[in-house]
Amino acid sequence: GPCCTASCTLKFGDKCRSDNGCRDAAHCDGKRAACPASRHKPNRTRCDKELVCFMGECTGSICLAYGLESCQCGPRKDDPRSACELCCRKPGGACVSSFHWNTSPYDVPDMYAKPGTPCNDYNG
């Protein structure tokens, strides 16, 4: 394992896993060859500018940081690009563009969905 030398002795203090923004770095503990578990940062910690941590990975929508759910807006007649704006909603509520969540505690940053992310009701 990552905490064992070429001569099969256990390492102590060597970094065996880097901090990924949502999980702390881990260091060999001198007790086993496997890298010890990393401590997860709290769910909804912001990461990678547009996401939040979920169970130690940077995979959640920024909407979660504001107590909202992620959703997909449809295009506005005057701006077809609006279909790929990042959108959030209150649980059970209407889907609203991040460009319109401008009042505390829902001051979601204005942004578009990341490239490769489904948008426009899975049509864009």
Mean pLDDT across 15-33 = 95
Q: What is the pLDDT of residues 38-47, one digit of tens each?
A: 999 998 888 8
Helix H or strand E segment including 13: strand 12-17
* Structural contact between residues 73 and 80, judged by C-beta atoms closer than 8 angstroms: no
The highest-confidence range among 45-49, 113-117, 119-123, by mean pLDDT, is: 45-49
Q: Which is higher by pLDDT, 113 or 52?
A: 52
55-106 pLDDT, tens digit per residue, is: 999 988 889 889 999 888 877 777 777 788 889 999 999 999 999 998 888 8
Burial class from Cβ neighbours inside 10 Å (0-12, 13-18, 19+) for residue 49 reads exposed
Q: Work out the average pLDDT over 116-122.
A: 69
- 96 DSSP β-pair partners: 88
| Cα diameter, the chain | 68
What proportion of the chain, given as a percentage, has pLDDT over 90?
47
Please confirm whether the linkage preceding 105 is cis (ω < 30° from 0): yes
For residue 42, give both structure tokens: 């709290």
Q: Note the pTM of the prediction, 2 decimals.
A: 0.67
| Residue 78, pLDDT score | 79
CB atoms within 10 A of CB 36: 14
Using the CB atoms, write b or e for 88-124: b if 16+ within 10 Å: bbeeeeeebbbbebeeeebebeeebbeeeeebbeeee
